[in-house]
Amino acid sequence: MTQNQSNQKNKFRNSIIILLSIIGLITCIAVLFPQIRQMIMDFGKQILHRKLSTTYQLWFEVIRSYAMGGICFILFFDYCTLTNSGRILVQRVKQEIKECLSEINFRSLVVPLLLMFGVYLLGILTIIRANFSYLDDFTYSILGHREWLNWSRYMVVFLSYFVQPEIRLTDISPIPQLLAAFILSCSSVLLVYILGNRRITTVRLLASIPMGLSPFFLECLSYKYSSPYMALSILTCIVPFLFVARKKAFIFCSIVSLMIMCMIYQIAAGIYLLIVVMLCFQYWNNREKSYKEILSFFGISAFAFCFAMLIYKFFFVIPRVDNYTSTTMLPFSHIVTGVLNNIKNYALTVISDLSMIWKIGIALVMFFFITKSIYQSAQGKLLSSIVSILVIVLSFILSYGIYSLLETPSYAPRALLQFGVFLAILCIYVVSDYKKIAIVVVLALNWCFLTFAFSYGNALADQARYAEFRIGILLHDLSVLYPDQSREGLPIQLKNSIDYTPSIENTAKNYPVIKRLVPKRLEGDTYWGYYYFLEHFNYSHSSMASIPNVSGNYIDFSTLDLPVVLDSYYHTIQSDGTRILVVLKH
């Protein structure tokens, strides 16, 4: 091909790109107008022949986010294909990525991967056996809708079609949980590979167990539908560090991975920063890099993180405020006091959740972290001890991620999943070329996490057994009192809840977190308690308008002094013929 023909081909290609970009930009900008979005929504309802699965306002925001994302993508794509600097940048990034990947011996990762998959599979064995539908698993099973858009998790919706290609979701467990275990094993192997300077040992792999089997991430593994995506959010934060030796590749992969993470499970954002802090500390303590190189690495990491977070915040986040959490940031005037208060509550929650044996083990891990840092330091001993303590404190703060910046952060166990990664990083560092007593302490602590995973899975099964027994009695009594309830459509309200089984009460004496992990099936003030009772057992004829936080017309039936129509050992049923109040007994 002659030079002239090549130029003509490039001009033709550029003309096509410009034309398509103009069409795309005009379309995306047009979609930003509410009237156009309304037309799209009406057209979608006609094509699908059903109502949209989420609220009108939510779909308005989803379409807007897609339009904003489309504009960003078109502009970036045009820069990379139509400008000389963009094309040169793309070539350099591609070359650096190829170089980094060529330096990795992927065959050496297979055996460690199988080992950790076996460990995590063993850890979730009782959870799988319990076959426990966890919280919003009910809505996915009964309605089949992909409701992850409620939380701006666009990538989850996209990936879910690969896991389950059908239009409507169905329960295919334990496949999602097995997939989550495999993704966690990839995360453990890569984390050890990165922090261990490409040296993978069995002890280091076992030291990473808290990342996937901490009590907080066990809640994530309990979800039949969402568990693989929660695990993937951890992996996306680790992958960029495979390219840390090449600056441009590292920046590009960091931004892309962090954007993907935000569209999967935003809670995991702090994991990226945890790894950055630990690598900087290792570089400094061992004098592997100069101060300039360390600051450069920290600077480009901070830039990539902040850039990805800002893009996601301003272009993709769907504002959400409810009694669970919010996406609203703390006002600037209260940022310091607000962050300190959130970190304090986070620390108190973690401390109250952990058992005494866990606290002792974690304290010893931190002690060995400090002593190893001093013993192997190429810096001054006093300075190294101070910096190692600061690294622990800073890492703990970062383990709460972006939640520390929110007005209403969540303290649910799954929201604390980064604590397990924080602990895994400390454990990997401690067992790397150090004293045997430190290795014994780390492995003993991780064995405690593994045994708790068994207890937790069995607790789920035991609570489900008892709850279904109680619900069966209640539904029998209601069907006898109101045999034609489907026609009458009497609204039902629950007061109190089914208490925990004796086995869970016993487990809670050692592990307080168990009561935050095992959900109660019937709880009078929660949406899930009603949904399980009304829908899961095919008793959905009652009015959902009586459920708290679902209808603005909610009236508390317990304030109406309804007459008692049945009083048994397990519950009291009150009714005036137009409404029903069920008072559950412990």
Burial class (CB in 10 A: 0-12, 13-18, 19+), 388: buried
Per-residue pLDDT tens over the stretch 165-219:
888 888 898 999 999 999 999 999 999 999 998 899 999 999 999 999 999 999 9
* Bigger pLDDT: 586 vs 201: 201
Average pLDDT score over residue span 492-513: 89
Distance CA 438, CA 268 (A): 28
Domain boundary among 82, 116, 148: 82
**Which amino acid is present at 57?**
Q
Element (H, E) at 35: helix 34-48
| Residues 33 and 142 occupy one common structural domain | no
Domain boundary among 419, 434, 449: 434
pLDDT at residue 487 greater than cutoff 70: no
pLDDT at residue 556 greater than cutoff 90: no
Full residue range of the structural domain in which residue 24 is found: 3-82
Look at residue 89 and tell me if it is in a domain. no
What string of DSSP letters covers 119-154?
Answer: HHHHHTHHHHHHT---TTHHHHHHH---GGGGGT-H
Residue 240, φ and ψ in degrees, nearest 5: -55, -25
Q: Provide the pLDDT confidence category of residue 1 given band limits of 50, 70 and 90.
A: low
pLDDT at residue 451 greater than cutoff 70: yes
- Cα 35 vs. chain centroid, distance in angstroms? 34
Contact 550, 539 (CB under 8 A): no
- Give the range among 189-198, 265-274, 340-349, 570-579 with minimum mean pLDDT: 570-579
Domain boundary among 434, 451, 484: 434
| Residues 133 and 225 occupy one common structural domain | yes
Q: Provide the pLDDT confidence category of residue 545 given band limits of 50, 70 and 90.
A: very low
Global pTM? Answer: 0.89
pLDDT at residue 241 greater than cutoff 90: yes
DSSP 583: E
Contact 479, 485 (CB under 8 A): yes
Instruction: Give the chain's end-to-end CA distance (angstroms, integer).
Output: 84
| Residues 381 and 415 occupy one common structural domain | yes
Look at residue 368 and tell me if it is in a domain. yes
**Domain total for the chain?**
3
- Give the range among 29-38, 231-240, 473-482 with minimum mean pLDDT: 29-38
| Residues 197 and 282 occupy one common structural domain | yes
- Cα 583 vs. chain centroid, distance in angstroms? 35
Residues 6 or more apart whose CB falls under 8 angstroms from that of 217 comprise: 211, 230, 414, 417, 420
Distance CA 130, CA 459 (A): 8
pLDDT at residue 530 greater than cutoff 70: no
Look at residue 300 and tell me if it is in a domain. yes
**Which amino acid is present at 33?**
F
Distance CA 87, CA 345 (A): 49
What string of DSSP letters covers 434-464?
Answer: --HHHHHHHHHHHHHHHHHHHHHHHHHHHHH
Q: What is the pLDDT of residue 249?
A: 92
| Long-range residue pairs from 105-108, CB within 8 A, at least 24 positions apart, any chain | 108/200
DSSP 553: T
| Residues 398 and 544 occupy one common structural domain | no
Distance CA 88, CA 93 (A): 9
In 3-state terms, what secondary structure has residue 523?
strand
- Give the range among 143-147, 172-176, 239-243, 534-538 with minimum mean pLDDT: 534-538
Q: Provide the pLDDT confidence category of residue 53 given band limits of 50, 70 and 90.
A: very low
How many C-beta atoms lie closer than 10 Å to residue 335's C-beta? 12
| Residues 119 and 54 occupy one common structural domain | no
Look at residue 96 and tell me if it is in a domain. no
Contact 586, 499 (CB under 8 A): yes
Q: What is the pLDDT of residue 67?
A: 79
How many C-beta atoms lie closer than 10 Å to residue 101's C-beta? 12
Look at residue 441 and tell me if it is in a domain. no
User: What angle, 0 to 180 degrees and rounded to 10, lies between the N-to-C axes of helices 84-102 and 247-262?
Assistant: 90
Average pLDDT score over residue span 9-29: 83
Per-residue pLDDT tens over the stretch 353-400:
999 999 999 999 999 999 999 988 888 889 999 999 999 999 999 999
Q: What is the pLDDT of residue 59?
A: 62
| Residues 417 and 466 occupy one common structural domain | no
DSSP 201: -
Look at residue 533 and tell me if it is in a domain. yes
pLDDT, mean over the chain = 86
| Residues 417 and 472 occupy one common structural domain | no
DSSP 536: I
Alpha-carbon separation of residue 518 from 228, 258, 340, 460, 515 (angstroms): 20, 31, 29, 6, 6
DSSP 550: T
Per-residue pLDDT tens over the stretch 300-321:
999 999 999 988 887 777 766 5
Average pLDDT score over residue span 332-347: 89
Per-residue pLDDT tens over the stretch 74-125:
888 888 888 888 888 889 989 999 999 999 999 999 999 999 999 999 999 9
Residues 6 or more apart whose CB falls under 8 angstroms from that of 266 comprise: 151, 152, 153, 233, 312, 402
| Residues 389 and 279 occupy one common structural domain | yes
Closest CA relative to residue 183, chosen from 116, 261, 252, 106: 116
| Residues 463 and 402 occupy one common structural domain | no
| Residues 363 and 430 occupy one common structural domain | yes
pLDDT at residue 322 greater than cutoff 60: no
Phi-psi domain of 49 (left: phi exceeds 0; alpha: psi -120 through 50; beta: other): left
Q: Provide the pLDDT confidence category of residue 546 given band limits of 50, 70 and 90.
A: low
Per-residue exposure over 427-441, b if at least 16 CB sit within 10 Å of its own CB, e if not:
bbbbbbebeeebbeb
Look at residue 566 and tell me if it is in a domain. yes
Look at residue 448 and tell me if it is in a domain. no
Contact 378, 287 (CB under 8 A): yes
Per-residue exposure over 544-569, b if at least 16 CB sit within 10 Å of its own CB, e if not:
eebbbeeeeeeeebeeeebeebeeee
% of the chain surpassing 70 pLDDT: 87
| Residues 134 and 183 occupy one common structural domain | yes
Average pLDDT score over residue span 127-150: 83
Distance CA 438, CA 367 (A): 9
**Which amino acid is present at 161?**
Y
In 3-state terms, what secondary structure has residue 112?
helix
Burial class (CB in 10 A: 0-12, 13-18, 19+), 151: middle
Per-residue pLDDT tens over the stretch 273-282:
999 999 999 9
**Which amino acid is present at 67?**
A
